[in-house]
Amino acid sequence: MEDLDAATLEDVQRFFRTYYAPNNAVLAIAGDFDSEQALDWVRKHFGDIPPQEPPQPVDVSEPERTSEKRATYTDKLANLPAIAMAWKVPPRHSPERYALALLDRILFSGESARLYQRLVKREKSALGVSGGLEDRRGPGLFTTFVVFKPDRHFQQIEHSVTAEIEEVQQKGVTPRELQRAKNQLRAERYRGVWGGLYGLQTPLGRAMELAYHTLFDGDPALINTELQRYLEVTSEEVQEVAQRFLRRNNCTVLHILPGATGVEQ
């Protein structure tokens, strides 16, 4: 918030000119249209917008993590305690990313997911569990976020999350779990999420996917091949990425205290 409070109107205008410029954007069009007519409209509505100096690339590389990091934060707006955990993972389109995406669904996707079943259903300690693979350019993160009941302790929640991850590391995932995760991913891709708005069955979904692959990967043709990479992942590969990346010495843990009430740590 200090940076936002210190920002001047000139800072905001400079940011807008730099990043919201046509040479820093991708325009994707999908649907039933005439190509020449579409190009005429693009020139009419966007052709007069001048390019800007391209933004300087940001170095997001980080040194190898060798020890766990911990912090505690009091959120004045929160009514319930929460715990966030994050592990560094490789960048987009590394071979391991596809297995990590399926591990994401096995741990987090839906009420059948491992962490939901453990924390919400069996132990009845959490009110909500979310997380998974987050990736843009450069190194990514694999995250967990748990909002839990105020009569439980941070150590209990953290132990449960860690124990479930260790279960995958030691015993792997079942063929049924893996197939369910692949089915979920395939359905998300074609039907989309948030009411089907962004699935490949819709023109908007196809346009966004083309723009996404162009912006982050430099290859819009990945829209045709990406799904197969996920479907080829094996149970052994899921277990292997859990062992390699979801290690304690590769983890950052944040305990979030609600501002209104005290919670035992």
Residues of the chain with pLDDT under 50: 262-265
In sequence order, the 6+-apart residues with CB closer than 8 A to the CB of 74 are: 256, 257, 258, 259
| Residue among 116, 112, 151, 150 nearest 130 (CA) | 116
41 sits in which H/E element: helix 35-46
| Residue among 155, 193, 164 nearest 103 (CA) | 164
Interstrand relation of 82-89 and 251-258 (parallel, antiparallel or unpaired): antiparallel
Q: Is 114 helix (H, G, I), strand (E, B) or coil?
A: helix
Distance CA 257, CA 72 (A): 7
Whole-prediction pTM: 0.86
Kindly list the strands in the beta sheet with 140-148, ordered across the sheet, starting from the edge strand earlier in the chain.
Answer: 69-75, 251-258, 82-89, 140-148, 126-134
Distance CA 97, CA 88 (A): 12
State residue 140 phi and psi, 5-degree precision.
-110, -175
Architecture of domain 69-258: 2-Layer Sandwich (3.30)
Which pLDDT score is estimated for 161?
98
Which pLDDT score is estimated for 190?
82
Which pLDDT score is estimated for 250?
96
Which pLDDT score is estimated for 165?
98
Domain boundaries, the chain: 2-46, 69-258
